[in-house]
Amino acid sequence: MNAIENTISTQAWAKLAQQFPKPRAIVVVSAHWVSIGLKVTASQRPETIHDFGGFPRELYEKQYPAPGEPALAQRIQCLLSPFHAQLDQHYGLDHGAWCVMTRMYPEADIPVVQVSLDAKRETAEHMAIARKLATLRDDNILLLASGNIVHNLRAFFLETKPSPWLHQFEDFVTEAIERGDVQALIAYKSHPDASKAAPDWDHFMPVLYAVGGRHEDEMPVIMKLEYFPGVSMTAFGYGLHS
């Protein structure tokens, strides 16, 4: 619903786009594209995927007609050749990608390429993939990682307010991000609240891609936005003005 509603989060995403030069392309890692094997979208005109159910018609009518960039996809495939990345001509832009970009860049005039989350990879390998992608930033390419630090839909539907474990886990993660403690993030499952706060690995993994995409001398800007039962909308980024 963030794609069509005016919220604290959507306002923040719009402001984010004003905090650095307009990118020449965007590479997205979304919690909503999980694959067997590492894949990269390579179509010239990726479709807007409405990968959800039970929402208002207005949301299904929403389109984000950003172009793809096959040449960039091929470049990413080469970067990720140690991980046997494959080009994908069929996957489009899922809602983890376009719901955020429609707020950041509503004109949909920037080429977009998505990189999947390979379900066969260990957490440390996801970080290694992210480090490879970090080199793209030198060419004014935005790395956009779309997930949640805290994402527990069962709690979202059953609880009436955020539980203490939500804030305890988020504080652990954001403090590790501030310290640049990559190993703590890779071992996030060892935190006593991880099983409640991050039961879905795919929604947490974009955190690692954002951290892995930083340059070594960059400090994060952390934006604590909204909290719901079981869900934190906290965002963070690098290369931004605080």
pLDDT (tens digit per residue) in 128-179: 999 999 999 999 999 999 999 999 999 999 999 999 999 999 999 999 999 9
Residue 157 and residue 132 share a domain: no
* Contact assessment for residue 238 and residue 213, using Cβ atoms and an 8 Å cutoff: yes
Q: How many domains does the chain have?
A: 2
Residue 159 and residue 129 share a domain: no
Which pLDDT value is given to residue 213?
Answer: 96
Confidence at 217, pLDDT banded by 50, 70, 90: confident
Of the listed ranges 11-20, 31-40, 62-71, 206-215, the one predicted with least confidence: 11-20
Residue 133 and residue 154 share a domain: no
Residue 220 and residue 133 share a domain: no
Residue 125 and residue 159 share a domain: no
What one-character-per-residue DSSP string does 63-82 give? -------HHHHHHHHHHTGG
**Phi/psi at 225 (5° precision):** -100, -75
* Contact assessment for residue 155 and residue 196, using Cβ atoms and an 8 Å cutoff: yes
What residues make up the domain containing 177?
148-236
What DSSP designation does 93 have?
B
